[in-house]
Amino acid sequence: MADFDLTARRNNSISNAGLQRVFCLISSVIAVISLGFALVGAWPVLVFSGLELALLCAAFRYAGLHAGDFERVAVVGDKVLVEARDGGCEAHYEFNRCWAQVVVRWDAPGRACRLALRSHGREVEFGRHLTDEARLAVARELRRRIGGR
């Protein structure tokens, strides 16, 4: 059983099936409009609408690929475990609880902060799906859980 367990996920407002429906709807509307222009002689519109649909398809594929992204940090016994999935690539890290340090860095005053776990020359960033306030709260809780560092 974990002493502490936090999973941070992207805020996905639409499912992959919903993305497909929206893409079909948008592409249908673009196809009808561009065909209408092509019928009255403005055929170059077809080329640009095709490019537009290709870029829209690429953007929706990117959103679908990253829909399952997450980061998880858990304190279990004498271990601190970090898991992350980014676009289908998964990474797992394990730190000794006694040696792990929580690091909070500010890029610049008033800018976003970064949260990382460090031990023995390895550093793993955590919390890119969290707000600055949530990162700071997680940092406080992790410091409390792994020994106040």
Q: Are residues 85 and 50 in the same domain?
A: no
pLDDT confidence of 1, banded at 50, 70, 90? Answer: low
R_g (Cα) of the chain, nearest Å: 23
121-131 mean pLDDT: 88
Statement to judge: residues 119 and 105 lie in one domain: yes
If asked whether residues 81 and 140 sit together in one domain, one would say: yes
Residue 148 Rama label (left phi>0; alpha psi -120 to 50; beta): left
State the total domains in the chain: 2
Shared domain check, 59 and 79: no
For residues 35 and 56, membership in a common domain is answered with yes
**Whether residues 85 and 142 fall in one domain:** yes
Give the pLDDT confidence of 68-112 residue by residue, as tens digits. Answer: 889 999 998 889 999 999 888 999 999 998 899 998 888 766 667
Q: How many helices (H) and strands (E) does the chain have?
A: 3, 7
Confidence label for 149 from pLDDT (cuts 50, 70 and 90): very low
Determine which helix (DSSP H) or strand (DSSP E) holds 35, and give its type and residue range: helix 16-39
pLDDT at 114: 87
The parent domain of residue 111 ranges over 4-10+69-146
Tell which wins on pLDDT, 31 or 4. Answer: 31
Same domain, yes or no: 48 and 109:
no
| Claim to verify: residue 58 and residue 81 sit in the same structural domain | no
Q: What span, in angstroms and rounded, lies between the C-alpha atoms of 63 and 61?
A: 5
Is 29 within 8 Å of 56 (Cβ atoms)? no
- Residue 97: partners with Cβ closer than 8 Å, 6 or more residues away: 75, 77, 78, 79, 80, 146, 147
